[in-house]
Every structure is written in C-alpha cells, then in structure tokens.
A and B are shown apart, each in its own frame.
Chain A
Amino acid sequence: GAVVSQHPSRVICKSGTSVKIECRSLDFQATTMFWYRQFPKQSLMLMATSNEGSKATYEQGVEKDKFLINHASLTLSTLTVTSAHPEDSSFYICSADRGEREQYFGPGTRLTVT
C-alpha cells in the first residue's frame, strides 16, 4: 500500500507557458502532501507543504505566485508552474503523508522549459 503517482512523468513546455503537475495518493488519503524540486546531481529541496482544504505553506525563497499549489482533495495535490522559464527546468517530486508522519514519494516529473 501507500502508492503515490505523478502525472505527467515528463513534460516539455515553451517559455512563458504554464504547466500543471498532479500528485495522487492511490490507495490512501493524504492529510499532507509535500512538493520538492531536484536539480541534476543535487539533493531534494522542499518547496512547499500542502494541506487539504487550506493554503500551502511555502519554504523561504519559493515564489508562491509562480508555483501554485492546490490540494483540493485528500488524494490529489497539483503544482502549477506559471510563466515557466528555462531556469524552472527541474525534476519535481511530490510526497504524501497519510497521517503517520511518514512520507511516500511519487516517481517524479521531469520538466523541461525550452
């Protein structure tokens, strides 16, 4: 159990456009979801914490107007990268907590902005 999916797995978009990434907990309800980004050969950096039905909490240095997070249900959180630029190209990973203080990670989404 505790499977988390992400969609899409890869996306290429043009500079200036917006792209939405979905994170779903498939077999459990997630009270909290987390969004991370990872640059090549680097570690994961927490971007924001998303609680169902409330506003996301962003980490210092993360622009909330650029990275819109919506946690509309207990099984779905979305991250929208608005007005994407090449420097936003990265690997985005979500994780979900089903209330046991243990995070289950999705497979990641590779975003390339051209």
Chain B
Amino acid sequence: SQQGEEDPQALSIQEGENATMNCSYKTSINNLQWYRQNSGRGLVHLILIRSNEREKHSGRLRVTLDTSKKSSSLLITASRAADTASYFCATVANDYKLSFGAGTTVTVRA
C-alpha cells in the first residue's frame, strides 16, 4: 500500500537553483529512502535515512527526517539539467517492504 504523500507534485526550476520536495507518511518507520526515476526507466537509490537520524548528506543531496511530524524533505542544491527526473520517497517499516510516495516530477530548465 502507498503511504507516502509528496509535494509538490511537480517542480520546475532554473539550472543552478535549489529544489526542495517533501514527503509525509502515516505510520511508524524503520527508515525512509529517496529514489530517482528518469522517464520510463528503473529506480536509482539516492539516500537512506534511519528513523533515529535527523539529517543526512550525499553530494548535492540533503535529506531531513522529522519523525514527530512524520515527514521528510529532499533538497537538491545547485541543480543541473541531468537532475530532471521524478523523485520518490519510500518508507520501510518492520516488514522491510518499501511503500512509495506519489512522487515529485522535477524539471530543471537550462
């Protein structure tokens, strides 16, 4: 079942700008993961943040997690045209299954 809600649904930014997207979920989690999907392709794992972590960085990516608000955010800094893709959050509970959010489509304009 899908438990994550993401906003915005779509985001259009200029190259060099930052992109921020949010994910909210409903139940307790073990960890939360962010994925990227280019049009018509498979998923690429970006970053995993555990329930006891509040912030994590990986290159130009910054992820935050607020378990009290059941929400997470993904920030992409200094965006590039190659960052154009759909981004999904996925929560993992104790059953270790991934439950995906609806996704945010990001378009980076050159």
Show the binding face of A for B, using Cβ within 8 Å: 4, 6, 34, 41-46, 49, 59-60, 91, 93, 95, 97, 101-108, 110
Contact between B48 and A107, CB atoms less than 8 A apart: no
Give the complex CA separation of A104 and B30 in angstroms: 18
Q: By the criterion CB–CB under 8 Å, are A105 and B43 in contact?
A: yes
- Residue pair B42, A108 in contact (C-beta under 8 Å): yes
Q: How far is the CB of B60 from chain A (nearest CB, A)?
A: 21
Provide the bound-state CA to CA distance between A6 and B42, in Å: 10
The 8 Å CB contact of B96, one of A4, A42, A91, A101, is A101
Residues of chain B contacted by A59 (CB below 8 angstroms): 1
Binds A, one of B51-59, B74-82, B99-107: B99-107
Are B42 and A46 in contact (CB-based, < 8 A)?
no
Total interface residues on B, using CB and 8 Å?
21
Give the residues in chain A near B96, CB-CB below 8 Å.
97, 101
Contacts of B99 in A (CB 8 A): 46
Q: Complex: how many Å from CA A107 to CA B41?
A: 5
Collect the chain B residues with CB atoms within 8 Å of residue A102's CB.
45, 48
Identify 17 new A-B residue pairs, CB closer than 8 A, beyond the known A44-B88, A105-B42: A6-B42, A42-B102, A43-B103, A44-B43, A44-B100, A46-B97, A91-B40, A95-B43, A95-B98, A101-B92, A102-B45, A102-B48, A103-B45, A104-B45, A105-B35, A107-B42, A108-B42
A93 and B42: CB pair below 8 A?
yes
Cβ contacts under 8 Å, B97 to chain A: 34, 46, 49
